């Protein structure tokens, strides 16, 4: 299998595995937030549950203060409504628009909106934050998100070759978000 190259990024499959493990070590709450998101989806993303999920994602992203602003500036029903809308859009394949819909929450910008979607749809969504945007040149908007997601989907497909297992045995396959986390870790030097 050959190396991958996106704009200013190049990594071998072995490097991708190492960077994904480095990301997991640096952000140990990732699995906990994924479990919280699955539980929130199972009970229907009611207002308080949706707000708690946004808070957990903001804490995971090392900016818990953003959750405080979201709590003060939005009702729990508005948060629940926006998250449910974004899921519907993502399930129709409109991931960039799904992130944009989450940005309609007061106090939540594009980076953290993409983080929220990543946890709501970890098998199909990615994070597009300043590290990725500035490191690879993808704009933090709908078009940039869709382009970066397409790159991650393509690399995930290549990484899912039989000889390239995901280092997390509970997941087994490479998801686009795993590719994004490995890229993030490489860009950050983790």
Query: Among 68-77, 79-88, 107-116, 163-172, whose mean pLDDT is lowest?
Result: 163-172
Query: What's the number of CA atoms in the CB half-sphere (13 Å) around residue 33?
Result: 25
Give residue limits of the domains in the chain.
4-28+126-188, 30-120
User: What would the mean pLDDT of 85-98 be, rounded to a whole number?
Assistant: 97
Q: Is the pLDDT of residue 6 over 70?
A: no
- In the chain, the percentage of residues whose pLDDT exceeds 90 is 78
Question: Phi/psi at 18 (nearest 5 deg)?
Answer: -65, -40
* Per-residue pLDDT band at 7 (split at 50, 70, 90): low
pLDDT band at 3 (very low <50, low <70, confident <90, very high): very low
What integer is the mean pLDDT of 73-80? Answer: 95
pLDDT tens by residue, 125-164: 999 999 999 999 999 999 999 999 999 999 999 999 877 7
Residue 4 has pLDDT above 70, yes or no: no
pTM (whole model) above 0.75: yes
pLDDT at 71 over 80: yes
Residue range 54-77: average pLDDT?
92
pLDDT surpasses 50 at 62: yes
Query: What is the mean pLDDT of the segment spanning 4-19?
Result: 78
């Amino acid at each position: 299998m050959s190396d991958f190259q996106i704009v200013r990024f190049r990594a071998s499959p072995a490097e991708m595995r190492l960077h994904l493990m480095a990301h997991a070590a640096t952000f140990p709450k990732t699995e906990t937030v994924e479990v919280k998101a699955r539980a929130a989806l199972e009970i229907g993303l009611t207002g308080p549950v949706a707000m708690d999920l946004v808070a957990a994602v903001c804490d995971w992203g090392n900016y818990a203060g953003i959750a405080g602003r979201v709590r003060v500036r939005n009702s729990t029903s508005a948060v629940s409504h926006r998250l449910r809308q974004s899921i519907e859009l993502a399930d129709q394949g409109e991931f960039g628009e799904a992130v944009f819909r989450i940005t309609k929450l007061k106090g939540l910008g594009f980076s953290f909106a993409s983080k929220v979607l990543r946890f709501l749809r970890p098998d199909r969504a990615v994070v597009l934050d300043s590290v990725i945007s500035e490191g690879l040149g993808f704009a933090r908007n709908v078009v940039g998100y869709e382009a970066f997601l397409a790159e991650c989907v393509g690399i995930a497909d290549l990484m899912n070759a039989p000889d390239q297992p995901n280092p997390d045995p509970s997941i087994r396959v490479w998801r686009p978000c795993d590719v994004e986390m490995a890229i993030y870790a490489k860009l950050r030097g983790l």
